Amino acid sequence: MSYAIEMRNIRKEFPGIVANDDITLQVQEGEIHALFGENGAGKSTLMNVLFGLYQPDQGEIYVHGKKELINDPNDAARLGIGMVHQHFMLIDKFTVAENIILGREPKKHGVLDMAKAVKIVKKLSEKYGLDVDPNQKVEDITVGMQQRVEILKTLYRGSDILIFDEPTAVLTPIEIKELIEIMKRLVGEGKSIILITHKLKEIFEACDRCTVIRRGRNIDTVAITDTNPNDLASMMVGRKVNIQVNDAPYDPKEKVLEIEHLNVLDSRKVDVIKDLNLTVHGGEILGIAGVDGNGQTELIEAIAGLRKVKDGSIKINNDDVTNQKTRKIIEAGLGYIPEDRQKHGLVLDFSVGENMVLQTYYKKPYAQAGILHNKVITKKAKQLIQEFDVRTPSERTLARSLSGGNQQKVIVAREVDRSPQLLIAAQPTRGLDIGAIEFIHGKLIEEKKKGKAVLLVSFELDEILHLSDRIAVIYEGHIIDIVDPKKTDENELGLLMAGRKKGGSEA
């Protein structure tokens, strides 16, 4: 039979590395095919070859059974290959319809025919159940909707082979569900889809077959019905995956973080934390579960002194740190793995070494009398790179050029090494691959075992259930309930996160 896409024995070399080494990818007509591998395994290179951005050094590409040379993205578009990029390429100030037709505008007597454009977009949107309003401005619609606009863009250009590049990284759980439905509807209409991902859950929910690549090589292509998550994960990482378990007995020690009657305003001066009480003890991981936007970010920022507390008190180790300067709170014993690692966790244009001392650069032994001791900093950086297995050419490499997982390792290394009494981890594994997740979970558990207090905030219920000793559910700015992870399940948590207390009463 002929394949929608067949890439045979593709090899692509860059100076110093072989990004793709003899990779074969066969995508059947009308299937959702997962391309599965860790960050840096060569997924993007392979797709860029298919999309005409790179020329392969070896190998052939067949589209619908015909051998083709794809020299640039225009060739790819002509062959019906469309890419839904991870970072959207949309113009915020334009409407949905304007964005979609851009570059291929319908014309009447040489003049843009906007009415026709809106009609076309509406029709396409209805056909695939995308439910997009063509006249809204892109800046006014949600991220999920913007992604649908990207999908429509490729459909408008007549693509019948769609590449989705890590599409769920930016979506909420509900949006992910909807996206998978959309993808299924697309293949139902005869399209073929390649889904680039490193999330197992999506593969099992959406895909028909899966090609696993590791370090630029083909490992295997399997039908989803013939495999299971553990096997697939092991295939990707190349060894047995040790799911880190929080197996240390729950033995809470003294109170490390004590929050009482906390009230915080958000940027629009609306109450976002309302009378919140929370205690975290040494030797425990407290997970905060909740739907995004229920005050998690503001709560952490208030603890870290980055947001003003209107009312109430925050104590770390019995030290009142309410509305103190961030540096003082850090010195009082706060470690913080921020949610947005690139924006808040790292100075991307600093070297890895410089990033390792972002909070301690002014202290002994890294400095004395205002003069940096660069040798000591370098030594420390080298030690941490080794200890935390940060994959970087050297400590002088810019943080910007590391992969997401390694950037996060730099942050974790820095925060854990300072050995803070309280470690806040906000979405510590978002967007990371299994290997890195495993590593970071292991480190959080280690901190707990050392008797430190860990406050974990995550939108991934699995992660919360998996790691926490206690789970606090946050809803509309206060803790609605605290539950034991051993005695609860996703259903109960889901209800609590939606604001329903046990027994069905509205909170």
Partner 1 sequence: MSRILKKINWMTLLIPVVSVILGLLCGAVIMLIIGYNPVLAYQSIVESIFLQPYYGGETIRAMIPLMLAGIAVAFAFRTGLFNIGVEGQLLVGWFASVACAICFDHLPKVILLPMSITAGGAAGALWGFIPGLLKARFKVHEVISTIMMNYIALYTTAYLIKNFLYTEGERTPTIPAAASLASTFLADLTQGSRLHWGFVVAIIAVFAMWFGLWKTTKGYELRAVGFSPDASKYAGMNVSRNIMLSLTFSGIFAGLGGAMEGLGTYQYMTINSAFTGIGFNGIAVALLGLNTPLGVVLSGALFAGLQTGGMTMQSEAGVPVELIQIIIALIIFFVGSGYVIKWAFGRLSRKGHK
Closest distance of CB 257 from partner 1, Å: 18
Q: Which is nearer to partner 1, 278 or 330 (CB)?
A: 330
Residue among 25 and 330 whose Cβ is closer to partner 1: 330
* Sequence-separated contacts (24+) of 172-176 with Cβ below 8 Å: 172/144, 172/291, 172/292, 172/459, 173/459, 175/142, 175/143, 175/144, 175/147, 176/202
**Does 310 contact partner 1 by CB under 8 A?**
no
Q: Which stretch binds partner 1 (CB under 8 A): 87-95, 114-122, 253-261, 325-333?
A: 325-333
For the bound state, the minimum distance from the C-beta of residue 302 to partner 1, rounded and expressed in Å, comes to: 13
Smallest distance from partner 1 to CB 500, Å: 35
CB of residue 502 to partner 1, shortest distance in Å: 37
Q: How far is the CB of 390 from partner 1 (least distance, A)?
A: 18
Candidate residues 289, 314, 346, 423; the one interacting with partner 1 per rule CB under 8 A:
346
> Min. distance of Cβ 344 from partner 1 in angstroms?
5
Q: How far apart are CA 192 and CA 33, in angstroms?
A: 8
Report the residue number, 66 or 400, with the smaller CB distance to partner 1.
400
Rounded least distance, CB 325 to partner 1, Å: 7
Minimum CB separation of residue 267 from partner 1 in Å reads 14
Number of residues that bind partner 1 (CB under 8 A): 28
Residues 347-366 that bind partner 1 (CB under 8 A): 347-350, 354, 358-359, 361-362
- 43 or 414: CB nearest partner 1: 414
Instruction: Give Cβ neighbours of residue 227 (< 8 Å, ≥ 6 apart).
Output: 210
Q: How many angstroms separate the CA atoms of 97 and 101, rounded?
A: 6
Instruction: State in angstroms the smallest separation of the CB of 345 from partner 1.
Output: 6
Cβ 17 to partner 1, closest distance in Å? 17
Q: Give residue 209's region: left, alpha or beta (phi > 0; psi -120 to 50).
A: beta
Q: What is the rounded distance in angstroms from the CA atom of residue 314 to the CA atom of residue 259? A: 5
> Is there binding between residue 52 and partner 1 (CB under 8 A)?
no
> Given the complex with partner 1, which of 235 and 300 has the nearer CB atom?
300
In the region spanning residues 361 to 420, those forming contacts with partner 1, defined by CB under 8 A, are 361-362, 367, 370-372, 374
Q: What is the chain's alpha carbon radius of gyration, rounded to the nearest angstrom? A: 25
Structure tokens at 166: 């890590």
Q: Cβ distance 258 to 279 under 8 Å?
A: yes
Q: Between 117 and 390, whose beta carbon lies closer to partner 1? A: 390
Taking CB under 8 A as the criterion, the residue among 37, 167, 338, 485 binding partner 1 is 338
The single residue listed with the structure tokens 């004590």 is: 258
For residue 184, the minimal CB distance to partner 1 (Å) is: 39
- Is 53 a binding residue for partner 1 by CB under 8 A? The answer is no
Q: Are 236 and 35 in contact (CB under 8 A)?
A: no
Q: What are phi and psi of 34, to 5 degrees?
A: -90, 140
Q: Does 14 bind partner 1 (CB under 8 A)?
A: no
Q: What angle do CA 35, 36, 37 make, to 5 degrees?
A: 130
Instruction: Decide: 484 and 282 in contact? Cβ < 8 Å.
Output: no
Q: Which of 36, 336, 439, 475 binds partner 1 (CB under 8 A)?
A: 336
Q: Check binding of 306 to partner 1 (CB under 8 A).
A: yes
User: Distance between CA atoms of 392 and 360, rounded to whole angstroms?
Assistant: 22
The rounded distance, in Å, linking the Cα atoms of 412 and 396 is: 18
Can residue 111 be called a binding residue for partner 1 (CB under 8 A)? no
Residue 345 vs 485, nearer CB to partner 1 = 345
CB 109 within 8 A of CB 189: no
Does position 330 interact with partner 1 (CB under 8 A)? The reply is yes
Q: Which tokens sit at 425? A: 């981890």
Q: Which of 66, 104, 325, 502 binds partner 1 (CB under 8 A)?
A: 325
Nearest to 5 by CA among 62, 46, 56, 51: 62
What letter represents residue 144's amino acid? G
Site membership for partner 1, residue 69 (CB under 8 A): no
Least distance in angstroms from the C-beta of 357 to partner 1? 8
* Secondary structure element (H or E) that encloses residue 10, with its range: strand 3-14
For 97, the token pair is 């319809």
Maximum CA extent, the chain? 78
Nearer to partner 1, 108 or 327 (CB): 327
What is the crossing angle of helices 229-237 and 434-449, to 10°? 100
- Quick note: the x/- pattern for partner 1 over 285-304, rule CB under 8 A, is -------------------x
What proportions of the chain, in percent to the nearest 5, are helix, strand and coil?
A: 35, 30, 35
Q: Give contact residues for partner 1 (rule: CB under 8 A).
A: 304, 306, 325-330, 336, 338, 343-350, 354, 358-359, 361-362, 367, 370-372, 374
